[in-house]
Structure 1
Amino acid sequence: MDELKYIEFENYLKNKLSQTEKIAFETKLQSNADLKQEFEIYKALETSLSSKFENEEGEQELRNTLTGLRNQFIKEEEVSKKKTKVISLFNYKKLLVAASIALLIGFFTFKNGNPAYSDFANHANLEFTVRGDNNETIKTAETAFNTKNYTTAFAQLTVLEKEFPNDIEIQLYKAICLLELDEFSQADTIFETIRTGNSAFSTKATWYKALSLLKQKKFEACKNTLKTIPESAEEYEIAKKLLNKL
């Protein structure tokens, strides 16, 4: 029975109910105080956790919501006792415990050292614009990388590197492919070579070196690398965001 109830909650929030079903559900909420309170908790949890705690405002919003609901339930329970009317708050308490646990899991996951690599690995599309539009290897490399086919992209970029041995951008994207394929040692060697050089890709390579360390769960080394990114760099704000979550 609970499963069907929560499915109805979900369908309502996702606008999957017909107009008739929606009206019927809202009527039930108005006539059933217990159901309405359960729905409010479910909605608060679903809405707040969907952001995966990517910002402090989201965390605080959920905390405030849970606190408000808890206080409301306590008042209702006190009133019910005065009226000698027994109202079961078992489901409320069960949901509040679940919400609190979810809150704590999200809080510690995103604030105490375990942000996810996937949350920050947003690669810019590969677009070679100055190496010849008719080069089929370039086109294949771009398509493969931009569709996340990193094995093919790496192979094509390796071919291109032979034709353009001093092209730092090709080397950087090769390293990104290696990172996505979990070939950390090779990727880190390339990132380190680029970041200690004098090219325009130095800071970007530093950022990717930090991402590699993050993916390997080497959190202290990741933090130290992030701290070397200067405020003037394009990657500074995203690096600061990641650093705050470590």
Structure 2
Amino acid sequence: MEDERYITFENYLTNKLSNEELKLFEEKIQSDVDFKYEFEIYKALNSSLASKFSNEEKEQELKKTLTSLGNKHLKKETKVISLFNYKKLMVAASIALLIGFFLFKNGDPVYSDFSNHHKLELVVRSENNQAISKAEAAFNSKNYNEALEQLNTLSQIYLNDTEILLYKGICLLELNNFFEAEAIFDKISNGNSALVNQAIWYKALSLLKQKKYLECKKVLKTIPKSAEEFKQAKKLLRKL
């Protein structure tokens, strides 16, 4: 009987009910409080699982919805749904949540989900403004070959500019030159500039792009809590 009810919920959500069935369904929603609340929980669950928890906000939104519905349910003075049936429904919902979350978690994270680069806006300004402008324009438009060429020119002039070096590494990473990219990230992360943690983060992204997940996790764990990159590192760790 319960299975038939959930099939009816699904048919309603997918517009598969006949006109007569639709009329009966809507009447039952208005007259049967048990039915209405079970449907609302099913609908919230169905909506979130359909997206397979594509982001944390949706997961949290579903939890709040289920909690809210449960609180409303239990605060009713009249008997809305027996405690036994309510628990059964919430257990079923929890199992479905875990299945959905498991499916999402087992989809390996990909580089493109995390490669949100800051715009290149170089601080250095001199007679090389043209090369700087070209490098910025190329990088910010994702023309990494051109950006790398301009950054190589600039790095020969500004030998100790860590920002230019970092963005060279990012270009190399985007072009799948992993060995050269990681050599740059290692050099920066072993220094004492303000870009140390960014370099560590990009080393992790390089490993992620190569699907070296265990090595990626090890690098991510070295990012300190005080770093700007820590939140993203923690998010990626949860998905690995």
- Whether 2:172 is the aligned partner of 1:170: answer no
Alignment CA distance shift 1:213-1:108 (3 Å): farther
Structure 2: which 5+ residue stretches go unaligned? 1-12, 27-38, 67-95
Alignment CA distance shift 1:28-1:218 (3 Å): farther
- Whether 2:110 is the aligned partner of 1:108: answer no
- What amino acid is aligned across from residue 147 of structure 2 in structure 1? A
Alignment CA distance shift 1:51-1:135 (3 Å): farther
Q: Check the 8 A contact 1:51/1:58 in 2, yes or no.
A: no
Which position in structure 2 is the counterpart of 1:3? none
Q: Provide the TM-score with structure 1 as the length reference.
A: 0.62
Distance 2:160 2:136 in 1: 19
Alignment CA distance shift 1:145-1:107 (3 Å): farther
Aligned residues: 187
Alignment CA distance shift 1:243-1:172 (3 Å): same
Which position in structure 2 is the counterpart of 1:18? none
Distance 1:177 1:140 in 2: 14
- Whether 2:121 is the aligned partner of 1:118: answer no
Identity percentage of aligned residues: 47
Distance 1:128 1:148 in 2: 16
Q: Check the 8 A contact 1:53/1:107 in 2, yes or no.
A: no
Alignment CA distance shift 1:137-1:60 (3 Å): same
Q: Check the 8 A contact 1:115/1:245 in 2, yes or no.
A: yes
Q: Which runs of 4+ in 1 moved over 3 A?
A: 6-9, 27-34, 43-48, 53-56, 58-62, 103-110
Q: Provide the TM-score with structure 2 as the length reference.
A: 0.63
Alignment CA distance shift 1:186-1:108 (3 Å): farther
- Whether 2:125 is the aligned partner of 1:137: answer no
Structure 1: which 5+ residue stretches go unaligned? 1-5, 10-26, 65-99
Which position in structure 1 is the counterpart of 2:213? 219
1:228 is paired with a residue of what secondary structure?
A: coil
- What amino acid is aligned across from residue 122 of structure 1 in structure 2? N
Distance 2:130 2:14 in 1: 50
